[in-house]
Structure 1
Amino acid sequence: MKLSDLSGRSRLADLLALLAGLLTVVAFAPYSVAPLAVIGPAMLFVSWHHATPRRMAWRGYLYGLGFFGFGVSWITSGLSLFGAHMQALALPLAGVFVLVLALYPGLMGWVASRFGCVPAAARLIVIWPALWTAFEWLRGTLFTGFPWLLLGDSQVASGPGGLAPVLGDYGVSWLVALLAGLLALAATGRRVPPRVAALLAAGVLWFGAGALRQVDWTHPTGAPMRVSVVQGNVPQQVKWVPSEFERTLARYRDLTRAHWDSRLIVWPESAIPALYREVAARYLDPLAAEAASHGSTLMVGLFVRRGQKIYNAVASVGDGAPGFYFKHHLVPFGEYMPFKGLLGWLYRDMNVPMSGLSAGRGGYTVQAAGQTVDVSICYEDAYGDLVIRGLPQASLLVNVSDDAWFDGSLEPAQHMQIARMRALETGRYLLRAANTGISGIVGPKGEVIALADMGRTEVISAEVRPMGGATPYVRIGNGPVVGAVFAILFFGWVFGLAMTRNQQRKMESK
């Protein structure tokens, strides 16, 4: 049976779409089989070949069920820690989350069917890759956004990732979807020369993008400096227990004191599970003085109250004036509770510490260790356009997180991969401190310099360089890619209408 005839076997094509979603997840960390990010979407495109609009929508939805059902299965781990009552609801709520996310590729399939009058080759290598990128952007933007498992993230260490400093994560996704279209064209084409040409073009694009990794988009602006990242490894089950509080403070203090030779030392998100004013005088101020005496600066995750509002924050203390970064993009249902009037019954059963937080306003950087540092907290680093707001002024990136909510799942490895993409896009060193892991120090090409794996209490150190200049992506952001893909879809739609009318005229003239 030829792949081009697969649509005639509906159940087999449906299974292919579901399998495609599952396989695509394996392209991401911790598996990191990067070519599957091309093969998975290509399989979906093949299942769409000659299918009806209804079948294309259904297969897109099946793809989404496989992709998100496997890829974000970690959501159950986080929900089960929200209290005993939530443990029974964790799986059903996660299932609803997956069912909703799968609507994106499902709707993408239906929209893809609207371009039926466009020649097949053009659909595969022009329209559908643009459509894929547009729907990734929509998923990362609508309803506060969920830019997780973008195709581009899977390529942080592979050839297509070389495009990240130029066009960003969405640009890499576009290229990967284009490669998938070329692979699908080679699989479904009826003539050998076009099929071979499609494979050759895919190879040229893959290795051509990889060649961009040799370009140094940014440059060092200072001498190497030693930095450390502290991974305290405090389990989520005890982190908020009052009797464990002093033990947590002692753990971070003792781990830090062994590394005063580092110019900058970073602690994870909410490493101190308390308000700044509750620990400043008796704990942070003496520790800051000790750090200053060694020429060190600490960046500490904690909470800060300003008036009636509480912020998830990072405080910079030690050598130099203290500074604060307040988290801008909060996690719904974790740091704030949307639709309280509708979901009040659910919130009553949820035990989420510090869940009534306010979104920060103002700057995206702090001064630390004599450098301007671009800071992100938790999954803020999944938003490339958020991270670049502090650039090109910032010479270093810092992300603090607490992935202990998702221990034993795929999430920590996926999150570390996302953080690496931010370093690659911006041409900056990145320090990532995660409570239970995965913590790391990443170079400006997205390469891992030092790593603290899951579930370990340790401090990792390395030498980094403050970096200056700006990659093309830092200068232009996501706008050009998003504008280009929607322009392609608009003109493709206009072209399809023209083709339809032309066919109608021909039919009427007969």
Structure 2
Amino acid sequence: MSGWRRVGLAGLLGASAGFGQAPYDQPLILMLALTLACYLFGQAQTTRQAAVFGWAFGTGYFAHTLQWIVSPFMVDVARHGWMAPFALLFLAAGLALFWGGAFWLARWLERRGAWALILSLPAAELVRGYLFTGFPWGLLSQSLVDSAGGQALSWIGPYGLTLLMVAVAVALNVRATTWVSRTLRFGAVLLGLGAVVLPVFRPVAVLTDHSVRLIQPNAAQRDKWNPDHIPVFFDRQLTYSAAPPAAEGAVPDLILWSETAIPWLLDRAGSSLNEIAKAGGNATVALGVQRRDDSAYYNSMVVLEQGGEVAQIYDKHHLVPFGEYMPFSDVFARIGVFGLAQRARGGYASGSGAKVLDFGEMGRALPLICYEAVFAQDVNAAPERPDFLIQITNDAWFGKAAGPRQHLAQARMRAIEQGLPLARSANTGISAMIDPYGRLLASLPLNTAGYVDAPLPAPLSPTVYSRTGDLPFVFVLLAGLACAGFRRQQRQQRVKN
């Protein structure tokens, strides 16, 4: 193949791999595309060819997977619509640089085959998840959340599972000339098919005596702050909170409203908080709200006492760049570019970090606001192990197809990794109660107004990943890359001799 044909094919393979992610959920297609990409990578003769191939493969993958990124810019088309195609193009091409670097490193470490890719591509994904506040959306392992292979997240986490997926793809390209190579290929076929085809074989989750009501107002982003629509959405949430339980004896102990569920700043929301607490009756109510202090604005979650007083506050600490704040805000302000969801000119301020909230007899919970559920390390950063996880989010920003479903998949990953149930309230959906194995016990459809009462599952014992985080994986990568580098040095020395 000529160079451009190879690049074009790499882009098509990457786009095909995107079918592994929601809303398609076809991980088998992703694995086939990854296997073919490893084969074609093995034909690259130079590091430059390998890097360009990896970058094209990544660009196709991220452009398809992150297609929803245009949706936030279409909320206010007149102001932000022009940015949409540039956002998708630059984000996809920029994230693909990590994959281009991984393919370059793999060819630099090993002149033939694709074995070094087993280390370099997961390493690139790890860097992508941490560098510049991180953006680990669309990890290869995210595609396995509905499959048996996804349960490995509780042992090795998202990056370790990514390494296994790349290892299977590389092993499928091994020439079956000896019994060892034939055994390796056969084992890779069994492991790959089992991971992506078999369903989740886990026992039924143990349920507690507590119930959570998840409120979903379905406020479209373009209407959410419209003065004519604000009373409609607020009254809708009050009505859902005060509604009788769907099943006898399932009176909710906790009522969960979504991110920025009310339009008023916390210090100006006194009467509305009283109404919310009254509608909740004897249940505790937690909701998303914007608040301010003397110098900053925060995207927060508050827990209300029955009289409407604020009992606990959590401030979101992992903010969305270019959404909730602008890097180099002074520079961008000069050309009139501001964050899509920021409140003050410089954006929201970051909270102090992960915080566990006390919900009495229900136990203690770690709150995650929207984007924070994307980061496994944020959940592992909790000061103590909670009894359950809470996510409140406003997925109206993410469009009506891929974005909200991919965001839900990542919340399910966090539940599996920690062995903890997760209660999720999303403005436009998908609100859900997720068990410690990542399965949906109850949910509301996307873009539907309503509420659902769901029993809270009991937590499992701490998982291996919840105890270790990504540190063992980092050591494995460093040791493997060091060995590969040493082998390369030995080869060069033999050539010189």
Q: After TM superposition, is the score higher than 0.5?
A: yes
- Is 1:287 aligned to 2:280, yes or no? no
The residue that corresponds to 1:13 in the other structure is 6
Note the residue ranges of structure 1 that are not aligned, 5 or more in a row.
1-7, 506-510
Q: Please say if residues 103 and 121 of structure 2, whose CA atoms lie closer than 8 Å, have aligned partners that are also in contact.
A: no
Letter in 2 for 1:196: R
The residue that corresponds to 1:3 in the other structure is none
Aligned equivalents of 1:110 and 1:357: distance in 2?
38
1:391/1:129 CA distance change after superposition, 3 Å: farther
- Is 1:366 aligned to 2:352, yes or no? no
What percentage of residue pairs aligned between the two structures are identical?
Answer: 28
After TM superposition, give the deviation of residue 393 of structure 1 in Å.
2.7
Structure 1 residue aligned with 2:287, among 294, 300, 309? 300
Q: Secondary structure at the match of 1:141?
A: helix
Q: Please say if residues 392 and 469 of structure 1, whose CA atoms lie closer than 8 Å, have aligned partners that are also in contact.
A: no
Structure 2 residue aligned with 1:328, among 283, 299, 317? 317
Structure 1 residue aligned with 2:125, among 132, 136, 143? 136
Aligned equivalents of 2:8 and 2:231: distance in 1?
54
Aligned equivalents of 1:39 and 1:264: distance in 2?
44
Taking the TM superposition and a 5 Å limit, the aligned residue runs for 1:386-405 are 386-390=378-382, 393-405=385-397
The one-character-per-residue Cα deviations of 1:93-113 (angstroms, maximum 9, x if unpaired) are 332222211211112121111
- Is 1:249 aligned to 2:234, yes or no? yes
Q: Please say if residues 163 and 209 of structure 1, whose CA atoms lie closer than 8 Å, have aligned partners that are also in contact.
A: no
Taking the TM superposition and a 5 Å limit, the aligned residue runs for 1:89-488 are 89-117=83-111, 120=113, 123-124=114-115, 127-185=116-174, 189=175, 191=177, 193=179, 196-206=182-192, 223-259=208-244, 261-279=251-269, 281-291=270-280, 293-294=281-282, 296-318=283-305, 322-348=311-337, 352-354=341-343, 356-368=347-359, 370=361, 371-390=363-382, 393-467=385-459, 469-488=461-480
1:219/1:451 CA distance change after superposition, 3 Å: closer
The residue that corresponds to 1:63 in the other structure is 57
After TM superposition, give the deviation of residue 438 of structure 1 in Å.
1.6
Aligned equivalents of 1:456 and 1:212: distance in 2?
28
Q: Please say if residues 78 and 405 of structure 1, whose CA atoms lie closer than 8 Å, have aligned partners that are also in contact.
A: yes
Aligned equivalents of 1:193 and 1:63: distance in 2?
32
Q: Secondary structure at the match of 2:43?
A: coil
Aligned equivalents of 1:202 and 1:227: distance in 2?
42
Letter in 1 for 2:34: P
After TM superposition, give the deviation of residue 242 of structure 1 in Å.
2.8
1:465/1:230 CA distance change after superposition, 3 Å: same
- Is 1:25 aligned to 2:18, yes or no? yes
Q: Secondary structure at the match of 1:323?
A: strand
Q: Secondary structure at the match of 1:106?
A: helix
Q: How many residues align?
A: 485
Q: Please say if residues 133 and 173 of structure 1, whose CA atoms lie closer than 8 Å, have aligned partners that are also in contact.
A: yes
- Is 1:495 aligned to 2:487, yes or no? yes
The residue that corresponds to 1:54 in the other structure is 48
Letter in 2 for 1:322: A
Aligned equivalents of 1:85 and 1:140: distance in 2?
30
Aligned equivalents of 2:369 and 2:274: distance in 1?
23
Letter in 1 for 2:355: Y
Letter in 2 for 1:18: G
Normalising by structure 2, we get a TM-score of 0.91
Aligned equivalents of 1:162 and 1:363: distance in 2?
25
1:69/1:363 CA distance change after superposition, 3 Å: closer
Q: Please say if residues 239 and 279 of structure 2, whose CA atoms lie closer than 8 Å, have aligned partners that are also in contact.
A: no
The one-character-per-residue Cα deviations of 1:459-501 (angstroms, maximum 9, x if unpaired) are 1222122325311111100111122112211211111111221
The residue that corresponds to 2:248 in the other structure is none
Decide which moves more: 351-360 or 307-316: 351-360
Q: Please say if residues 266 and 291 of structure 2, whose CA atoms lie closer than 8 Å, have aligned partners that are also in contact.
A: yes
The residue that corresponds to 1:5 in the other structure is none
Letter in 2 for 1:66: G
Note the residue ranges of structure 2 that are not aligned, 5 or more in a row.
246-250
1:45/1:206 CA distance change after superposition, 3 Å: closer
1:362/1:392 CA distance change after superposition, 3 Å: closer
Letter in 2 for 1:394: P
Aligned equivalents of 1:441 and 1:219: distance in 2?
12
After TM superposition, give the deviation of residue 196 of structure 1 in Å.
3.0
The residue that corresponds to 1:39 in the other structure is 32
The one-character-per-residue Cα deviations of 1:302-339 (angstroms, maximum 9, x if unpaired) are 11223222111111113597211110100011111111
After TM superposition, give the deviation of residue 352 of structure 1 in Å.
3.9
Higher relative contact order (CA 8 A, sep 6+): 1
1:350/1:416 CA distance change after superposition, 3 Å: closer
Q: Please say if residues 310 and 358 of structure 1, whose CA atoms lie closer than 8 Å, have aligned partners that are also in contact.
A: yes
1:213/1:502 CA distance change after superposition, 3 Å: farther
1:503/1:418 CA distance change after superposition, 3 Å: same
After TM superposition, give the deviation of residue 83 of structure 1 in Å.
5.3
The one-character-per-residue Cα deviations of 1:164-222 (angstroms, maximum 9, x if unpaired) are 1111111111111111111232xxx2626455323322145447879997678x996x8
Q: Please say if residues 390 and 424 of structure 2, whose CA atoms lie closer than 8 Å, have aligned partners that are also in contact.
A: yes
1:31/1:213 CA distance change after superposition, 3 Å: closer
Letter in 2 for 1:152: S
After TM superposition, give the deviation of residue 301 of structure 1 in Å.
0.7
Q: Please say if residues 329 and 338 of structure 2, whose CA atoms lie closer than 8 Å, have aligned partners that are also in contact.
A: no
Letter in 2 for 1:60: G
Aligned equivalents of 2:342 and 2:230: distance in 1?
14
Structure 1 residue aligned with 2:66, among 55, 63, 72? 72
Q: Aligned Cα RMSD in Å?
A: 2.6
Aligned equivalents of 1:395 and 1:44: distance in 2?
42
Aligned equivalents of 2:342 and 2:264: distance in 1?
10
